[in-house]
Amino acid sequence: MNILNVATILCIGLLIGGELAVSAFINPVVWKLDLAAQARASQLFGRRLGRAMPVWYIASLLLLVSETITHRHESHIGLLGVAIAFWGAAIALSLLSLVPINNRMVRLDADGWTESTQRELRMWDGLHRVRVAVLAVSMIFFLAGLGI
């Protein structure tokens, strides 16, 4: 296994783990807080992750593309292409639905945090879970493409 394989596995694996942690641990805890605390916590997480994740997603995509170029003459190249397609689908889902909701959430003050806002945040979480599943499928195809 070469350094590119290790870097790609770490990069996408840690990203998927971080995204899973948001749905499985962070959001359920935040939802138990009062509305003002939910608003503040969601704003803080939304801003922090909103800055870091785009860079991480693009870096992961570039690593997947690099892996595909590196392994272009191998028999499992199609699996690497499928991994890229799923990763791209996750990015598209993010840009078309999750990012706009996140951007609205981080702009709200505590007074703007209503039941409607909470429903929108739960919709975000449902879409986010779909994204996590798509990312996991991408990882599976990537690992299969490497023969791991």
Domain that holds residue 99: 3-146
CB 86 within 8 A of CB 140: no
Distance from C-alpha of 44 to C-alpha of 111, rounded to nearest angstrom? 16
Planar angle of CA 79, 80, 82, nearest 5 degrees: 65
Task: Give the pLDDT score at 48.
Answer: 94
Nearest Cα residue to 13 out of 140, 125, 98: 140
Residue 108: pLDDT band with limits 50, 70, 90: confident
What confidence tier does 113 reach under pLDDT thresholds 50, 70, 90? Answer: confident
SS (H, E, C) 22-58: HHHHHHHHHCCCCHHHHHHHHHHHHHHHHHHHHHHHH
Q: What is the pLDDT of residues 93-106, one digit of tens each?
A: 999 999 999 999 88
Domain count, the chain: 1
Question: Could you tell me the pTM of the whole model?
Answer: 0.92
